[in-house]
């Protein structure tokens, strides 16, 4: 019988949402019931499991050394440093338990979570990266998150194959070097305050440039050099301008930042969506993909839906968040690499045929497991034969269907972290009262220091040329949120090399500003703003936003 489109009411927010025929086909293929949460509520639930940026000082519960961890020492989680967690001195099967059919699944799953030690941070092969999380194959990085194959990166997120980077986001392509406050750049060098630039060098305060060099306060240019405010100058005229603007001065930079924001909001042309070398896709920032819908920040995907931050060879998957590199037939997954047939899974790599698992690696045929490595045919960390496993698994699934638990990502109430520690608070912020009323947890003691400053913002020298090394011993105060922050020596060297004044805002406020500068992870239906054009489209720019948004055809006519 052919599947038909169906309108359902979300059990969480009570809003109607649509399940399309292709969705039903996918659910039947992986043998799960259709979701009862709408796509946005499903996304929020996955967000509530990802603590990416909130770090704590605590002791390893095995070796007792002081470590940095993503779990508060006040919580119930047992936490091991990376050396201990990956070591051979313990085995997650020691905490195995039988399944009790008189009790709900998630209640028992939470008990197992609390017993099994958790990794302090998700970091692999990354020397001198103590203050990073979700990082691999990198070195000499500080307070950077979602970091891969990079070196000397500071205060950034979603960085791949880059070097000497500070305060940047979504550099997920290749060959970026010496960048500051850049977003979505590809193969760029020695540039600052650039957004959506490709193959550019020595550009400042610019948007949507390709194959450009030596441009200042420009937008929507192609194959240009020595331009200021989109006006062509000679090489000597441009160089004279750069010499005279005094980029070492914070006051001057502040003026340029305001001009840059004005250029972005009212003078630049925005394409309805960034959808390049892709066919049959909807969402934003999609590259080299096919037939992927309601997807944001995706590269080399095929048949993917309702997913965010998915990259490289993700195929036939739905509801994926922060995962990628060889995924197939995965559903409701947060944090996975090189996996197939993974359902309702959190932070697990190199697996196949796993369901409702948390932090399991290099394994297959697991159900309801936590912390296992290189295992097979286990349920609640207990070893079974293949026949025993398959029989018990089906019985538990039928039990979960009766209790209404099977078919959704694990509830936020059993997440090992609290909502205000997670990316949920970044992209779907709630007050404490709102979070608790929705069943999320809340952490009252997130590490924040205020009122300890030894140097006020107006006491910081205006020019980086006047900054002394002893600034690294000072405690500064953010001009936005008033929290204290400091400057590390690696940072000073970077600022001096690129002639950048000391920032007056803390790293977290700088990060949140970059989040705001990127369009939301939603779509609105609206019309092209080009005079006389009647084309309509879906876009991440809401109708009430100030940006000038064109359809693909009008954008190509004006920009290319």
Please write the tens of the pLDDT for every residue from 384-395: 999 999 999 999
Residues 6+ apart with CB under 8 A from 223: 210, 211, 212
What pLDDT was estimated at residue 196? 97
Q: Please write down the HEC assignment for all residues of 435-493.
A: HHHCCCCCCCCCCCCECCCCCCHHHCCCEHHHCCHHHHHCCEECCCCCEEECCCHHHHH
Domain ranges of the chain: 136-271, 285-410, 524-559
Instruction: Tell me the Ramachandran region of residue 462: left when phi exceeds 0, alpha when psi lies from -120 to 50, beta otherwise.
Output: alpha
Cβ atoms < 10 Å from Cβ of 469: 9
Torsion sign over Cα 361, 363, 366, 371 = negative
Q: What is the DSSP letter of 132?
A: -
Q: Which two tokens stand for residue 528?
A: 């092209």
Instruction: Tell me the Ramachandran region of residue 184: left when phi exceeds 0, alpha when psi lies from -120 to 50, beta otherwise.
Output: left
User: Do 240 and 251 meet the contact criterion of CB atoms below 8 Å apart?
Assistant: no
Cβ atoms < 10 Å from Cβ of 87: 12
What DSSP string runs through 505-535?
S-HHHHHHHHHHHSPPS--EEEE--STT---
Nearest CA among 52, 48, 45 for reference residue 123: 52
Rounded CA separation 297/275 (Å): 10
In whole angstroms, how large is the CA radius of gyration of the chain? 25
Rounded CA separation 347/49 (Å): 9
Helix (H, G, I), strand (E, B) or coil at 363: coil
Residues 6+ apart with CB under 8 A from 183: 168, 169, 170, 194, 195, 196, 514, 517, 518
In 81-160, which residue ranges form alpha helices assigned H by DSSP? 82-86, 105-115
Q: What is the largest CA-CA distance in the chain?
A: 80
Rounded CA separation 160/270 (Å): 25
Across the beta sheet with 283-287, the strand order is 275-276, 283-287, 293-328, 331-349, 352-355, 364-367, 376-379, 382-383
User: Do 45 and 67 meet the contact criterion of CB atoms below 8 Å apart?
Assistant: no
Q: Is 200 exposed, middle or buried (0-12, 13-18, 19+ CB in 10 A)?
A: buried
φ, ψ of residue 494 in degrees (nearest 5)? -65, -50
User: Do 292 and 298 meet the contact criterion of CB atoms below 8 Å apart?
Assistant: yes
Place of tokens 């999380």: 133
Residues in the chain: 560
What pLDDT was estimated at residue 233? 98
What pLDDT was estimated at residue 1? 53
What pLDDT was estimated at residue 288? 94
Beta-bridge partner residues of 169: 157, 183
Could you tell me whether strands 79-80 and 56-59 are parallel, antiparallel, or unpaired per DSSP bridges?
A: unpaired
Q: pTM for the whole thing?
A: 0.96
User: Do 412 and 440 meet the contact criterion of CB atoms below 8 Å apart?
Assistant: yes
Please write the tens of the pLDDT for every residue from 291-314: 999 999 999 999 999 999 998 899
Helices and strands, number each (H, E), in the chain:
12, 33
Nearest CA among 227, 234, 268 for reference residue 541: 268
Rounded CA separation 172/464 (Å): 30
Place of tokens 């957004």: 195
What parts of the chain have a pLDDT lower than 50?
A: none
Helix (H, G, I), strand (E, B) or coil at 60: coil
Q: What is the DSSP letter of 13?
A: T
Q: Please write down the HEC assignment for all residues of 156-185.
A: CEEEECEEEEECCEEECCCCEEEEECCECC
Question: What angle (nearest 5°) sits at the alpha carbon of residue 297, between those of residues 292 and 299?
Answer: 65
What pLDDT was estimated at residue 254? 97
Could you tell me whether strands 382-383 and 376-379 are parallel, antiparallel, or unpaired per DSSP bridges?
A: antiparallel
Residues 6+ apart with CB under 8 A from 417: 48, 49, 50, 51, 54, 70, 71, 441, 443
CA dihedral 16, 428, 181, 259 (to 10 degrees): 80
């Amino acid at each position: 019988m052919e599947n038909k489109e169906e309108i359902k009411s979300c059990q969480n927010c009570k809003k109607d949402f649509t399940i399309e025929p292709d969705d039903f086909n996918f659910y039947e293929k992986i043998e799960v019931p259709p979701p009862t949460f709408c796509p946005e509520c499903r996304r929020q639930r996955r967000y509530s499991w990802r603590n990416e940026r909130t770090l704590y000082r605590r002791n390893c519960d095995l070796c007792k050394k002081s470590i940095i961890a993503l779990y508060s020492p006040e919580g119930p989680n047992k936490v091991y440093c990376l050396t201990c967690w990956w070591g051979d001195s313990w085995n997650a099967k020691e905490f195995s338990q039988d399944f009790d059919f008189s009790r709900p699944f998630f209640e028992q799953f939470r008990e197992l979570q609390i017993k099994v030690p958790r990794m302090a941070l998700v970091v692999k092969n990354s020397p001198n990266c103590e203050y990073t999380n979700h990082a691999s194959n990198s070195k000499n990085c500080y307070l950077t998150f979602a970091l891969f194959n990079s070196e000397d990166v500071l205060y950034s997120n979603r960085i791949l194959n880059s070097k000497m980077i500070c305060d940047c986001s979504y550099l997920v392509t290749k060959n970026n070097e010496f960048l500051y406050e850049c977003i979505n750049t590809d193969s760029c060098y020695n540039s600052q305050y650039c957004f959506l630039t490709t193959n550019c060098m020595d550009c400042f305060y610019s948007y949507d440039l390709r194959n450009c060099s030596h441009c200042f306060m420009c937008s929507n240019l192609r194959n240009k050099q020595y331009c200021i405010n989109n006006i062509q100058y000679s090489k000597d005229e441009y160089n004279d301008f750069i010499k005279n603007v005094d980029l070492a001065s914070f006051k001057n930079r502040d003026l340029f930042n305001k001009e840059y924001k004005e250029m972005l909001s009212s003078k630049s042309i925005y394409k309805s969506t960034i959808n390049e070398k892709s066919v049959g896709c909807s969402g934003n920032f999609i590259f080299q993909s096919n037939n992927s819908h309601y997807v944001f920040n995706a590269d080399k995907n095929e048949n993917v839906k309702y997913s965010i931050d998915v990259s490289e060879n993700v195929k036939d998957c739905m509801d994926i968040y922060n995962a990628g590199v060889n995924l197939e037939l995965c559903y409701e997954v947060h944090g996975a690499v090189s996996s197939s047939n993974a359902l309702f899974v959190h932070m697990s790599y190199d697996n196949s045929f796993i369901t409702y698992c948390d932090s399991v690696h290099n394994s297959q045929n697991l159900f309801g497991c936590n912390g296992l490595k290189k295992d097979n045919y286990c349920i609640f960390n207990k070893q079974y034969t293949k026949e025993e496993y398959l029989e018990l698994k089906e019985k538990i699934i039928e039990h979960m269907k009766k209790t209404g638990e099977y078919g959704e990502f694990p509830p936020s109430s059993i997440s090992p972290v609290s909502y205000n520690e997670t990316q949920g608070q970044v992209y779907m912020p709630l007050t404490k009262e709102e979070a608790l009323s929705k069943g999320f947890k809340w952490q009252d003691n997130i590490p924040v220091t205020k009122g300890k400053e030894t140097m006020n913002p107006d006491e910081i020298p205006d020019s980086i040329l006047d900054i002394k090394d002893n600034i690294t011993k000072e405690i500064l105060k953010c001009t936005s949120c008033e929290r204290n922050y400091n400057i590390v020596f690696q940072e000073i060297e970077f600022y001096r090399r690129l002639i950048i004044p000391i920032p007056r805002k803390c790293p977290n406020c700088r990060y949140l500003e970059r989040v705001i500068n990127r369009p939301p992870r939603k779509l609105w239906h609206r019309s092209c703003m080009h005079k006389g054009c009647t084309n309509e489209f879906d876009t991440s720019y809401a109708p009430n936003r100030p940006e000038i948004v064109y359809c693909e055809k009008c954008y190509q006519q004006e920009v290319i």
